[in-house]
């Protein structure tokens, strides 16, 4: 799977750990940075870069990491077709794929440790949207984009 990955300066170490994990699993990672200690970025800009990659079909799913994961999810959810979920438990990371067809997972380096973060990633990537009754509800979410 092609995964778009991004972080701000609060989450560089965890982003790099996630990138390594994804590569070990055999995924192709499009790493949108940041890349170096001392580099700064505003999380809405990084959320937009990763969200735009999904919109253009350049990646199937995205992962965004900031201090809390919250800012990244708020920003990414402003983009059409993006359903970003901020998760710090494995159940939600799985259910947001199964029921909500989430296409971006966000979490916070200041909230979750490396071990939990990688479990969130595994749960998110290994779960598929169930469709059925959930599809109608996701369509209702999409319709809100027209308001
Ligand atoms: C940066 O200090 C911090 O505000 C950001 O990483 C994130 O937690 C925002 O939601």
Q: Mean pLDDT across the stretch 129-142?
A: 98
Q: What is the dihedral of CA 59, 75, 109, 118, to 10 degrees?
A: -30
Q: Mean pLDDT across the stretch 83-105?
A: 98
- Over residues 57-72, the pLDDT tens digits come to 999 999 999 999 999 9
Query: Where residue 139 falls among pLDDT bands split at 50, 70, 90?
Result: very high
Q: Ligand 1, closest atom to CA 108?
A: 8
pTM as predicted: 0.98
Whether 99 is a known active-site residue: answer: yes
Token representation of residue 47 = 């959320």
Q: Ligand 1, closest atom to CA 8?
A: 6
Residue nearest to atom 8 of ligand 1 (CA): 67
Which pLDDT belongs to residue 147?
Answer: 93
Tally helices (H) and strands (E) across the chain: 6, 5
9 Cα–ligand 1 center, Å: 8
The catalytically annotated residue of 66, 85, 87, 96 is 66
Q: Residue 83 has what DSSP assignment? A: -
12 Cα–ligand 1 center, Å: 12
């Amino acid at each position: 799977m092609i995964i778009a990955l991004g972080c701000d300066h609060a989450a560089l170490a965890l982003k790099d750990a996630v990138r390594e994990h994804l590569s070990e699993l055999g995924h192709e990672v499009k790493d949108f940075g940041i890349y170096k200690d001392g580099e700064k970025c505003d999380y809405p800009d990084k959320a937009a870069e990763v969200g735009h990659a999904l919109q253009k079909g350049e990646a199937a799913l995205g992962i965004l990491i900031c201090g809390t994961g919250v800012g990244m999810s708020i920003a990414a959810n402003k983009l059409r077709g993006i359903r970003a979920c901020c998760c710090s438990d494995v159940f939600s990371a799985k259910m947001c794929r199964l029921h909500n067809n989430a296409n971006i997972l966000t979490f916070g380096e200041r909230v979750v440790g490396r071990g939990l973060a990688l479990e969130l990633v595994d749960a998110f990537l290994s779960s598929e949207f169930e469709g059925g009754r959930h599809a109608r509800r996701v369509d209702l979410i999409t319709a809100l984009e027209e308001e």
